[in-house]
Structure 1
Amino acid sequence: MSAVAETIAARKAAGSGALVGYLPVGFPNLAESIEAAVALVENGVDVLELGLPYSDPVMDGTVIQEATQQALASGFKLQQGFEAVAAITARVSAPVLMMTYWNPVLAYGVERFSDDLLAAGGAGLITPDLIPDEAADWMAASDRTGLDRVFLAAPSSTTARLEQAVQASRGFVYAVSTMGITGARSDVDSAARGLVARLRDAGSTSACVGVGISTAEQVREVLEYADGAIVGSLLVKALADGGVDAVARAAAALAIGTRPAS
């Protein structure tokens, strides 16, 4: 079993589910992004999702886009992503997934990227713009290295697509709760519950819901039917507004949702 799947299974066995926290590497600078990621784990995040800044982030909302564009404008280089993973995994035991669009991986070289991520202590990749039937090179590289591969499923996905995502994914399937881009919303779309049910029917034993989760109450609600809750925009905004201390407080507040309601 993968490190990510083991972590999620352990949280479920404890009576809850996993909290997955996203931050972009290199924002507001490399050193602070590393400190912020460590702070997430120290304040209740179970799995880290580190985003590689990319020039055309089609899935990301305004908050994340602005952060990644700032990182790029400050000179972020892809190699720094591996440096960050190595620095983080040297300090905390939570598995670290890298979230990346596919073009940077292709440009770097799929095999080389996989080897460097593994060497840095990374757990695998979340690839929002890559579908399994176009992922032969990544499937082969991840099978060779043992890295996790997280594919996305949306409410609009056909049953065949859901089955494909379940069969191809390792670690978890990323269930996109709403149609559209990421960003905190006052209500997590009710389509998420139906999507996770469809993923269960397709054979999924590990499905995490993301896009729009921003409160402990929403985390708790999602964990009633899913295996993990993924939070990004809220944490990025906290880091932008108040630095590492603020993102630590935001993570701690979200983590309350992984504990039984009093």
Structure 2
Amino acid sequence: MESLGAFLKNRRDRVTPERIGLRTYGTARRVPGLRREELAQLAGVSAGYYTRLEQGLADGVSEQVLGALARVLELDPVETAHLHNLARRPPRTVPVEPPEEEPHPRVLALLDALAEATPAIVLGRRGDVLAWNRTGHALFAEHLDFAAPESAGTRPSIPRMFFLDPLTRELHRNWDELARVHVAYLRLTAGRFPGDARLAGLIGELTMHDDRFAALWAGGEVADCTTGDMRLRHPVVGSVGVAYQVWLQPDSPDHRLEVYTPLDGPSGDALAALARRKPVR
């Protein structure tokens, strides 16, 4: 899992003195971005204290200091929230096995209300499929058993499928774009749940088995994942473009209902064709 110090250094390397109007007087620099002492001065803390932050030796960093660091590092709201999550993490977090996730009855009722005309999937905190309707299953994973989400031991993992399943990779025409989104959101989730042993294991597995994931994870991007477009090459209905939007669940805030709507007329016809098909499993 990512540490506060690693995140700070990653963001410090991205902010050049020229970008924020800091004069360097032509001196040679050994770092791509700000030096520790420069960031400390701009944030109003001592260089020694900031160094201890990057080294993981300073506990109880204040909200004011975090706010100042976020300002100097030009963090957006999601990155700032991630910074606060990392700062609140206990210094020696031991991952533990989390309880099994179960979709709340209200979200299942909402999924049923969408019927088959609108593809939809309910996702857990690690991207496990907790439930899907027939069209959501047919759109993204018809090669898997429709009943797989009903058991915790067989639930498909969207991040694992996205990076390790060749059929899923082939399905997405804008795979590279979506890969960055997947990794950035997984990093945000890891900051929220540092003690989740299954999440840590998933990140480790993907890092070991997919070079693209490893490279993106090393890049340090962090972002939420609430809306966007997917361009698909579906094996049955051909080219499909869908917009996804995420509905958070008040009763189970770690879970997300993803709903997919067509980007154009032909895509709408393709989704309607999928909804009319008889289940294959």
TM-score normalised by length of structure 2: 0.24
Rg (Cα) greater in structure: 2
TM-score normalised by length of structure 1: 0.25
